[in-house]
Amino acid sequence: MKTVIIKYNAGNVQSVMYALDRIGVNYLWTDDEAEIRSADKVIFPGVGEASTAMSYLREKGLDKVIPSLTQPVLGTCVGMQLMCRHSEENNTDCMGIFDIDVKRFDSSNFKVPHVGWNNIFDMTSPLTAGLSENAYMYFVHSYYAELSQYTVAKCDYVQPFSAMLQKDNFHAAQFHTEISGKEGQVIIENFLKL
């Protein structure tokens, strides 16, 4: 099985690599279109800022490659947000795989960004098989994907939002699967079994 991590201008890829190393998965970190297209599984992680990341994806043509992929794709954190239509972060047009918007948390009662462990619920994703309802995941974000027909797991901070999205072969998680302990590892393993 060939697993590719998409290389682009978004940090924290090292923790994704460590997570795959822990479960004995070989991977390639690349921005090469042919390598990405020939992968069995594609992971699209991200930490950073939406407009800078989208600029890099456009420069490399990856903004067209990623939405056209037919194998299982997993986007996490900023990766998930870039798979949506538009982000309020620097008014950024994204890839539009999920036809929804990413909005900034607006609260005077809650600290923004949302940082730390929080539970996910109403899970209907194949990636959450084997997890108990209200499993805890690790979040770091100031922006969120609104609830929609693509929502396959929810979290509540300021208001309910999409903790996970799915459309066809595209799966996404707002939390960091790679640093969410055993529960996060279950999600990665389930993804790799698709």
Q: What's the mean pLDDT in 163-185?
A: 97
Which residue segment(s) compose the domain that 152 sits in? 3-193
State mean pLDDT over 87-99: 98
Measure CA of the first residue to CA of the last residue in the chain; give whole Å: 11
Which residue out of 89, 114, 155, 178 is catalytically annotated?
178
Annotated catalytic residue: which of 77, 84, 94, 155? 77
pLDDT band for position 11 (50/70/90)? low
Helix ranges restricted to H, the chain: 13-22, 33-37, 50-60, 62-65, 78-82, 181-193
> 83 near 53, Cβ under 8 Å?
no
Q: What is the CATH number of the domain that holds 186?
A: 3.40.50.880
Total domains in the fold of the chain: 1
What does the pLDDT read at residue 46?
85
The answer to whether residues 125 and 169 touch, using CB atoms and an 8 Å cutoff, is no
Which parts of 88-169 are beta strand (E)? 92-93, 98-104, 114-120, 135-141, 143-145, 151-157, 159-167
In this predicted structure, the answer to whether residue 12 has a pLDDT above a threshold of 80 is no
Per-residue pLDDT reduced to its tens digit, 153-166 = 999 999 999 999 99
* Catalytic residue chosen out of the listed positions 114, 141, 171, 176: 176
Write out pLDDT tens, residues 131-155: 999 999 999 999 999 999 999 999 9
CA-to-CA separations, 98 to 103, 108, 164, in angstroms, rounded? 14, 29, 11
Q: Is 77 labeled as catalytic in the residue annotation? A: yes
Q: Which residue blocks in 61-142 are alpha helix, DSSP H?
A: 62-65, 78-82
**pLDDT tens, residue by residue, 111-130:** 999 999 999 999 999 999 99
pLDDT digits (tens, 9 = 90+) for 52-92: 999 999 999 999 999 999 999 999 999 999 999 999 999 99
pTM of the model: 0.97
